[in-house]
Amino acid sequence: MSRSTTSEREQYRPHIHYAPAANWMNDPNGLVYFGGLYHLYYQYNPYASSHGNLHWGRATSTDLVHWEEQDVALPEREHQIFSGSAVVDWHNTSGFGKGGRPPLVACYTGHTADNQAQFLAYSLDQGETWTYHGGPVLDVGKTDFRDPKVFWHAKSRRWIMVVVHPVERQVELYGSFNLQDWESLSVFGPAGATGGIWEVPELFPLHDEAGRLYWVLKVDLNPGGPYGGSGAQYWLGDFDGQAFTATTPARWVDHGNDFYAALTWNDLPDRRVWLAWMSNWQYAHDVPTQGWRGAMVLPRELGVCADPHGPVLAQRPVPELQALRQAKTVRQGDGIFSLSPHQAHELLIRWPAMPAAEVKLEFRSEAGSEVSVEVRSGELWVRRPVTLVTSSLDGYPGDHRAELPLHLDQFDLQIFLDASSIEVFAGDGRVVISDLLFPSEQIREVDIQFGGSDPLSMEVEVWSLKSSYGV
C-alpha cells in the first residue's frame, strides 16, 4: 500500500489499524479465512472520501496485523454494493464450483433508491476475481432490508442468513440448502435498544471457560447508542437452527463512541475474531483526515466470561499484535512516561483490586491534555476534551464510561494509542472503550497517577509499536 509522507495528509494516518490508502471506507464485509489468508472486504467509495458509490474494497493478511490493500473486489453496477458476508462453499451446495475447487461466495445487499435485496457473487480463485450471479436471491420488496450475514449451521446441515429490517428493529433468520433458495425461519425483536434503526446483524457460537456453549446475537443501531450516536448491542442465548432465544439482557458491545458494524471471520478454526468500523455516523463525514476517511478497530478475539450479573462477552486484542512490540519501559508506581513521536503505543497496567484505588492517565502534547483515562469508584472513564481540531465535530467531545467488574482479584488496563484512536480494554476484556482521537499536536507523554493505596503496588509496561505498514 502506497503511503504519502506529507504531514498534512498523514497526521492522523493509523500506524497499526487498517485504513485504505485513499477515499472513504466504512463497514467491514465478507470476512472469511481461506487459503491461509484473512480476507477483509469493506464498504468503499473509490472516487471520494465521502459516503457513496459503494463498492466492496479488499485487503488481505496472513497474520491479522499486516494488511495488503488489493484492487476493488465487487464494483458498483446497477445497484450499490452494500454490506454483506462471504463463505467458503466447501461442498459446492451452490453449484458455482468447478473442477473440485470450492467457490468463495459473497452475499451482499444490492441498494437502489427504492429497493434493497440480497444478491450473490462468487470467486473461483480465492477472491482475486468475482462473478456476479444474476438477480436477487432474496427480495421482499422493501427499501430497507439489508446486511446479510451467512454461515453454515452443521447441526441442521444448511446455510443460515441473518438479515435486518432496520426500521422495524427486527432481525430475520432464513435457511437455505444451496445459498440461492431461502425460506424464513424466525424473527427476533424489537428488543433491547431501539432508539435508532438496526443494522449489520451477526450470530455465532462461543464457549465459556467451562465449555458451555452460548450463541451471540449482535446488532448495531444508529442513532440510539450509548451517547446518542451509533452503537452496538448484543445478547447471549440459544440457537436451535430455527430461532435465537436470548437468555441475557441486551448489553453494549463497546462503551466508547467509535465501534460499529462488527463482523466475525467465517471459517477461522479454533477461535472467533471480529473487526469493526472505527467511527460514528454523528461525525464520520467530518473527521479531519485528508484524502482518506475511515479505519478499522484492532481485531479482537472473543470469549464468554463469568460475571456476578451473568455471563458477558469478552474482547481481547489478538495476540498477533505482540509482534509489533519494540522498546519497552517497565516501572512500579506512577510517574511520567515519554512516548515516541510517529509511533503507536501499548500500555499495560495492573494492580491488586482495592475499592479505594484510583488511576488516572493523562495523555499530553505540547498543547496540553488531549485525552485522559480514569478508573475511580468502580468505573472506567475515557474523556475526550474539545480541541481546536475537534470543536466542529458534533457529538465528539465528552466522557465515555463503563462499570468495571469488581469481583476480580486484580485490575488491569490494556491501552492502544494510535495516531487517531485510543482503545481501552479492562477486566480481561469484559469492558472496552474505543474512541477516535484527533489531537491538536502529537502526543508526547503520558502522566500516570495512582491514588487510594500504595503506588508501588501498580505495575506499568509501556511499549512502542512498529508500524504494521512497514514504514
Residue numbers of the domain that contains 23: 18-317
Q: Give the chain's domain count.
A: 2
Who contacts 145 (Cβ-Cβ below 8 Å, separation ≥6)? Answer: 109, 116, 117, 118, 163, 164, 165, 166
Both 155 and 218 in a single domain? Answer: yes
- pLDDT (average), residues 318-325: 98
Longest dimension (CA), the chain: 68
Task: Check: CB of residue 414 under 8 Å from CB of residue 465.
Answer: no
Please give the torsion angle defined by the CA atoms of residues 386, 387, 389 and 394, in that order, rounded to the nearest 10 degrees.
Answer: 10
Confidence at residue 9, expressed as pLDDT on a 0 to 100 scale? 52
Q: Is 141 part of any domain?
A: yes
- Same domain? For 291 and 216 the reply is yes
Q: How do residues 177-198 score in pLDDT, each as one tens digit?
A: 999 999 999 999 999 999 999 9
How many CB atoms sit inside 10 A of residue 136's CB?
Answer: 16
310 shares its domain with 373: no
Q: Which residues pair with 208 in a beta bridge?
A: 304
Which residues, in sequence order, are CB contacts of 125 under 8 Å at separation 6+?
none
> Given 248, 283, 317, which residue is the final one in a domain?
317
| Residues 9, 5: Cα–Cα separation, whole Å | 7
**Beta strands at 37-45 and 398-403: parallel, antiparallel or unpaired:** unpaired
Whether 11 is covered by a domain: the verdict is no
- E strands within 385-436? 398-403, 410-418, 421-426, 431-436
Find the catalytic residue in 27, 89, 147, 435: 27
Extract the C-alpha cell encoding 301: 478475539
Summarize the confidence of residues 16-37 as an average pLDDT: 98
Q: What does the alpha-carbon distance between residue 275 and residue 96 come to, in Å, rounded to a whole number?
A: 28
Q: Over 70: is that where the pLDDT of 2 sits?
A: no
In the listed set 267, 285, 317, which residue is the last one of a domain according to the structure? Answer: 317
Residue 10 inside a domain? The answer is no
Query: Taking phi first (over 0 means left), then psi (-120 to 50 degrees means alpha), and beta for anything else, what does residue 229 get?
Result: beta
Residue 399 designated active-site = no
Mean pLDDT of the chain: 95
The half-sphere exposure of 444 on its side-chain side, counting CA atoms within 13 A, is: 6
Tell me what pLDDT residue 388 has. Answer: 83
* Predicted pLDDT of residue 3: 42
CATH no. for residue 383?
Answer: 2.60.120.560
* CA 183/CA 174 separation, integer angstroms: 5
Q: Both 310 and 332 in a single domain? A: no
- Please check whether residues 336 and 422 belong to one and the same domain: yes
136 and 241 within one domain: yes
Cβ contacts of residue 154 below 8 Å, gap of 6+? Answer: none
pTM as predicted: 0.96
